[in-house]
Amino acid sequence: MRLKDKVALITGGAGGIGRATAELFAHEGAQVVIGDLNEQAGQALAAALAPAARFDKVDVTDRQAVQAWVDAVVEQYGRVDILINNAGLLRDAQFVSVKDGLLMKQMSESAFDAVVAVNLKGVFNCAEAVAPHMIRQGGGVIISASSVVALYGNFGQTNYVASKAGVIGMTKVWARELGRKGIRVNAVAPGVILTEMTEKIPGKFLEDMKAHTPLGRLGQPLDVARAFLWLASDEASFVHGTVLSVDGGLVFGT
């Protein structure tokens, strides 16, 4: 019961890492608020975890919608103790491909904008919405999902790497600004985690990533959920402004 009586918001909470985090947090005593666009999955999860969870359909790229969501949560529960910025999007493509001097293909502007809108602006929107409430109540915890690729880069992921590297940068800034207000801010950098998102990744790539992972396996959603739990709990009360890698020791090649 490490999160007993805590109110935890989890974006992208209807599936994958978010779902595992919601289940674990509820088990540890938190009142979980699941935010996601997948209404069917979110409602089913909230029902399964009832009365320790509720679901709200929310688009993290919509600043006004996010603010209304957070305000409604505070109105119902009186506070918000934990924000897990987990919502994420992939739109992989090679930055630019040239053959025999001719441009063959490149990453589209729409693919870049879509990923940055969810992975970076969405994190900004949610954190900025909860921060004033946390300041007024005397503290809180903000944890955002970055990625191992933000630290090392990855082929075909200019947009994703840029967004996740930005999350690390914002985490460092918020740690400086919000720490004095009693708000701890950290990020988690997962490696390759087997979720619905990775089902679209070619098996050959996954096998290659497994071969480059010293622990000899790919990650499970619960691996990351446990990292979120530790950082959200009082056990990590002096951990602030850090990026915790949860990647099995993954070493990227080129």
**Model confidence pLDDT, tens digit, residues 82-114:** 999 999 999 999 999 999 899 889 999 999 999
% of the chain beyond a pLDDT of 90: 89
CA distance 80 to 31: 10
Cβ–Cβ < 8 Å for 122, 87? yes
**Chain center to CA of 189:** 9
Answer yes or no: is pLDDT of 253 > 70.
Answer: no
Q: How many residues appear in the chain?
A: 254
The residue from 160, 174, 185, 189 that is catalytic is 160
CATH code for the structural domain at 7-246: 3.40.50.720
199 pLDDT tier (thresholds 50, 70, 90)? confident
User: Does residue 160 have an active-site annotation?
Assistant: yes
Out of 120-129, 204-213, 236-245, which region has the weakest mean confidence (pLDDT)?
A: 204-213
- The domain locations on the chain are 7-246
pLDDT tens digits, one per residue of 211-246 = 989 999 999 999 999 999 999 999 999 999 999 999
pTM over 0.85: yes
Provide the pLDDT for residue 133: 98
